[in-house]
Amino acid sequence: MKITILTPVFNDWKSASKLIEEINTIVKDLDAEFSLVIVNDASTEEKPTSISNTENLLSVEILNIKNNQGHGRCIATGLKHIFQNKQFDYVIPMDSDGEDRPEEIKSFLEYINYDEGKPIVGERVKRSENIIFKICYHLHKIITYVFTGQSIKFGNYTCLPKSTVEKLINDKSTWCSFSGALAKLEKDRSSSPSIRGTRYFGPSKMSFINLIKHSLAIIAVFKSTVIIRSILFYAIYLILVADYISIITAIPLASVVIFALYIIYISRRENLDELNNSLNNIDNVDTIK
């Protein structure tokens, strides 16, 4: 069985080196051949010219992106590159900062042996962030479920069979949100318990504003459902408060309209042409091994 691990990096090569070291140790005794594809998202920090601790990996490549395009789109670009250029059975996208724990790759392999052919998602059962982040995360899950009917408890850390990778690289929603696209395209998924790890080095580079945009991008994949549910909420709420219309009772109505309009705006990130042409944004490929 051939498995390719895919990880984006932006100005954090110290963490990426630590991740590679841990992956190399973890896969040593696993019954599969592992390769690694690193997507360098136009880092300004100098990347290493060589990488040690790769003896248990079949190959290691760095895709050097010309123009910074963000974490999710790096994964989409990497999936397209792997599908077109690599021999593989599964792809494991994961973050490179330590928050996706390499030891859980073992669990993915156990699920593959138990339920071969299904995509496997790392479902978060424990998080390491502060209380503010946890509250915002639970609020995001509630809003997502209310407006889309989807309970999405996973991020990038997944294990994807080749058939799923093919679906993802041919659907425009992947260019908007990886986890949203996977939830839309693959209803029949396996879930492996996943504990959010702590970063190897330094604080998170994800700002609060970008976190909100990320959340809305997931919801935007289901914009049709969002619009329908927003209209239903608007109609039912208007009937309930018809005799009590005031500035205060109008606030929820205005909020839902603004939310739905912004979701439509965010959904413009979906672009199949840009996804199809994403490999043109690769400047060159460093073959490390």
Q: Could you report the per-residue pLDDT of 118-154, keeping only the tens digit for each?
A: 999 998 876 555 677 677 777 888 888 999 998 888 9
> pTM of the entire structure?
0.91
Q: Can you say whether the dihedral through the CA atoms of 122, 155, 260, 143 is positive or negative? A: positive
Report the alpha-carbon distance of residue 157 to residue 271 in Å, rounded. 23
Mean pLDDT of the residues in the chain:
91
Q: Provide the token pair at 56.
A: 């248990």
Q: Could you report the per-residue pLDDT of 83-93, keeping only the tens digit for each?
A: 999 999 999 99
Name the amino acid, one letter, at 231: I
Which residues partner with 286 through β-bridges? 62
CB atoms within 10 A of CB 192: 21
Q: Provide the token pair at 229.
A: 């549910």
Structural element, H or E, at residue 106:
helix 105-114
Which domains are present in the chain? 2-129+152-204+271-287 (3.90.550.10), 223-264 (no CATH)
Tokens 């009590």 locate to 244
Does the pLDDT at position 206 exceed 90?
Answer: no
Q: Could you report the per-residue pLDDT of 94-109, keeping only the tens digit for each?
A: 999 989 999 999 999 9
Q: Is 25 helix (H, G, I), strand (E, B) or coil?
A: helix
- Of 283, 289, 276, the closest CA to residue 64 belongs to 283
